[in-house]
């Protein structure tokens, strides 16, 4: 059996043709494919606005800037995530505070967040960054209620969850990143994600002011729109068509037209790829039912996007090593962020978040990508079971 990775991109002839068309055209960056991709993605997600960004980490950084994170700003997030979900706060000089995860879902535990908030006066924290980890949608209706109670903003890290959704207690369905509950949401187009653009990211929102601010921040903080210009200073020469203004410190976080064309091409089959991920997950669920493997099976009101399929076993290291001998490249997602050397410098230590640490000690991500064949998946299942009974 050839090596089976935990995730893999799928590039079609149509994708290649879309990129080749851009290469033959007049724009490689800042061209029409950016706007087209943003519009199509906003329609798919259900948000009013979308802003294409260089990558998911840059998207998180710009969101924190737009939300006013600065030195002294305190933000809560989960320790079970890629470090960028926390690093974005540090980029702006803010303080990162972690809360433990729900042991049943590995998502940020709203009860742990509430307990943290109750330990401090209102106004101590500014925002929360929940993560739709592995593609499991966070209950943002509950988090919205909590955030409003404490005057906080919400930033949804939906990198794992395009196409995911949940139905709230009122029967309203919310798609991940649709802007109905969080001020801002971000997505990633890294090759192993649902939509591959090489690199790339997207910010979605329903807030027009935030949208316009983000457009400026991703391009150095510069505007060339006359209606946004400041008043001329006394004696300033007449302004011509060349005129632009650096209004604040921004970054070059633009996406290229080549990446946008690839992303837009992939977006056209997003529903089919999501359905295949869910089919693969169902086969895993059925295969491991009644075994010593712990799986996370969402309730009926949750439409899991399955960027990852995570199992939990007692001898994770043993299983990881065994699968490698079988050419199955399972992976671990994630080492808790608070245990990383950088964050331990701020006083975080082992034992601070027992649910997150227990999850990490047992978790393993099995191969999950739309082109995983039934034969390959069966081989993975049989290999896991072989280890368990050895």
Angle at 191 between CA 278 and CA 32, to 5 degrees: 105
Band (1; pLDDT cuts 50, 70, 90) = confident
The C-alpha atoms of residue 129 and residue 185 are separated, in whole angstroms, by 9
Angle at 82 between CA 150 and CA 371, to 5 degrees: 125
Task: Give the dihedral of Cα atoms 295, 335, 128, 145; nearest 10 deg.
Answer: 20
Please give the full DSSP string across 88-152, using - where no structure is assigned. HHHHTTPEEEE-PBPTTT-SB-HHHHHHHHHTS-TTS--EEE-B-GGG----HHHHHHHHHHHT-
Measured in whole angstroms, how far is the alpha carbon of residue 263 from the centre of its chain?
A: 16
CA proximity to 162, closest of 298, 303, 8: 303
Answer whether residue 103 shows pLDDT above 70: yes
User: Which sequence positions are flagged as catalytic?
Assistant: 193
Average per-residue pLDDT for the chain: 97
The DSSP letter of residue 188 is E
- 3-state secondary structure at position 244: coil
**If 0-12 CB within 10 Å is exposed, 13-18 middle and 19+ buried, where does residue 345 land?**
exposed
CB atoms < 10 A from the CB of 221, how many? 16
The C-alpha atoms of residue 146 and residue 335 are separated, in whole angstroms, by 27
Domains of the chain: 4-99+107-267 (3.40.640.10), 270-389 (3.90.1150.10)
Band (63; pLDDT cuts 50, 70, 90) = very high
**Mean pLDDT (whole number) for 155-177:** 97
The C-alpha atoms of residue 271 and residue 40 are separated, in whole angstroms, by 13
Taking the CA of residue 315 as centre, how many other CA atoms within 13 Å lie in the half-sphere pointing to its CB? Answer: 12
Which region, left, alpha or beta, applies to residue 235 given φ > 0 means left and ψ of -120 to 50 means alpha? left
Answer whether residue 202 shows pLDDT above 90: yes
Alpha-carbon distance values, 326 to 4, 35, 287, 293, 381 (Å):
9, 45, 19, 19, 12
Answer whether residue 390 shows pLDDT above 70: no
The C-alpha atoms of residue 154 and residue 127 are separated, in whole angstroms, by 6
221-279 pLDDT, tens digit each: 999 999 999 999 999 999 999 999 999 999 999 999 999 999 999 999 999 999 999 99
The C-alpha atoms of residue 47 and residue 41 are separated, in whole angstroms, by 9
Residue 157: its H or E element? strand 153-157
The C-alpha atoms of residue 15 and residue 214 are separated, in whole angstroms, by 28
CB atoms < 10 A from the CB of 295, how many? 16
The C-alpha atoms of residue 294 and residue 312 are separated, in whole angstroms, by 5
Q: What is the predicted pLDDT for the residue at 389?
A: 86
Asked whether the beta carbons of 136 and 307 are under 8 A apart, the reply is no
212-228 pLDDT, tens digit each: 999 999 999 999 999 99
């Amino acid at each position: 059996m050839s090596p089976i990775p935990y995730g893999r991109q799928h590039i079609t002839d149509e994708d290649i043709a879309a990129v080749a068309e851009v290469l033959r055209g007049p724009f490689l960056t800042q061209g029409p494919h950016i706007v087209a991709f943003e519009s199509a993605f906003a329609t798919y997600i259900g948000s009013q606005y979308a802003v294409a960004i260089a990558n998911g980490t840059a998207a998180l950084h710009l969101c924190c800037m737009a939300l006013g994170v600065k030195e002294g700003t305190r933000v809560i997030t989960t320790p079970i995530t890629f470090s960028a979900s926390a690093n974005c706060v540090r980029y702006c000089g803010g303080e990162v505070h972690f809360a433990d995860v729900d042991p049943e879902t590995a998502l940020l535990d709203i009860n742990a967040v509430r307990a943290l908030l109750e330990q401090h006066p209102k106004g101590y924290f500014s925002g929360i960054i929940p993560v739709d980890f592995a593609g499991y949608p966070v209950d943002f209706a509950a988090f919205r209620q909590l955030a409003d109670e404490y005057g906080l903003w919400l930033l949804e890290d939906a990198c794992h969850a395009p196409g995911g959704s949940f139905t709230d207690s009122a029967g309203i369905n919310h798609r991940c990143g649709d802007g109905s509950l969080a001020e801002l949401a971000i997505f990633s187009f890294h090759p192993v994600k649902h939509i591959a653009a090489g690199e790339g990211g997207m910010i979605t929102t329903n807030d027009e002011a935030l949208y316009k601010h983000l457009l400026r921040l991703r391009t150095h903080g510069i505007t060339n729109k006359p209606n946004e210009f400041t008043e001329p200073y006394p004696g300033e020469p007449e302004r011509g068509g060349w005129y632009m203004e650096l209004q604040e410190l921004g970054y070059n976080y633009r996406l290229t037209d080549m990446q946008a064309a690839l992303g837009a091409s992939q977006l056209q089959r997003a529903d089919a790829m999501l359905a295949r991920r869910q089919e693969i997950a169902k086969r895993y669920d059925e295969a491991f039912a009644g075994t010593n493997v712990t799986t996370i099976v969402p309730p009926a009101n949750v439409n899991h996007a399955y960027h990852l399929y995570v199992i939990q076993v007692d001898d994770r290291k043993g299983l990881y090593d065994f699968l490698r001998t079988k050419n199955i490249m399972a992976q671990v997602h994630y080492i808790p962020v608070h245990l990383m050397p950088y964050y331990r410098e701020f006083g975080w230590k082992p034992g601070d978040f027992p649910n997150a640490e227990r999850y990490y000690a047992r978790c393993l991500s099995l191969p999950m990508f739309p082109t995983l064949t039934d034969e390959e998946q069966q081989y993975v299942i049989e290999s896991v079971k072989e280890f368990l009974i050895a």
